[in-house]
Chain A
């Protein structure tokens, strides 16, 4: 089993749609969680950190469920510019091992 697993995608949605991505992690000792965005042939960039109480940044909402070892990202009112691959990231242990999910591709169309 992979340490971090994501919805396979791709997600093809119209502008204005709401879309949700899910991610599960296997190591119950994981301590930090993030969502990154990666555009085609570019490096990943931080979208948002994920806090235990859940957090929101504009149209983006992240949730963490430690009991189920589950992270989610909700994007409301999708824009064409949201088209990218979204990567779930988990940081483990004393050595700060940073593990990425395989990513979920989002395509927003007019």
Chain B
């Protein structure tokens, strides 16, 4: 079954705990992205990666970390330095060519209590 898998769909954590969100793809796409969406708001770019072992800060990288050790995987860690982590997190992938669209996973809803 091809596509992008984000897990878990819902995640609850206590304040101050680090948490890692999974994003796996079998589309053989080079580029991967992480976005955050707050209620009634647009998508804000956290990190993106063009190739394995390389990634770039997005607009709101503070309090987050990523790794890209394999082409298929781009996990996002929400650290305790992120002061307001409750949000909907979306992972996307795209082929390496410029004029190609991105495809999204179904997202993870993180709630910090």
Contacts and interface: CB of A to CB of B under 8 A. Distances in A.
Nearest to B39: A41
Interface residues of B, number: 27
Interface of B: 31, 33, 35, 41-45, 48, 50, 56, 58, 88, 90, 92, 94, 96, 98-107
A49 interface: yes
A31 B42 contact: no
Interface in A81-110: 87, 89, 91, 95-103
A97 B42 contact: no
B42 A100 contact: yes
Contacts of B94: 96, 98
A34 interface: yes
Contacts of B44: 100
Contact of B96 (A34, A96, A97): A96
Nearest to B51: A95
Nearest to A104: B42
Contacts of B35: 100
A61 interface: no
A97 B56 contact: yes
A55 interface: no
30 contacts: A32-B99, A32-B100, A42-B107, A43-B90, A43-B104, A43-B105, A43-B106, A44-B90, A46-B103, A49-B99, A49-B101, A91-B98, A91-B99, A95-B48, A95-B50, A95-B56, A96-B48, A96-B50, A96-B94, A96-B96, A97-B48, A97-B56, A98-B31, A98-B33, A98-B45, A98-B94, A100-B42, A100-B44, A100-B45, A103-B42
B106 A101 contact: no
Contacts of B88: 41
Contacts of A101: 42
Interface of A: 31-32, 34, 41-46, 49, 87, 89, 91, 95-103
A98 B42 contact: no
A102 B100 CA distance: 21
A99 B45 contact: yes
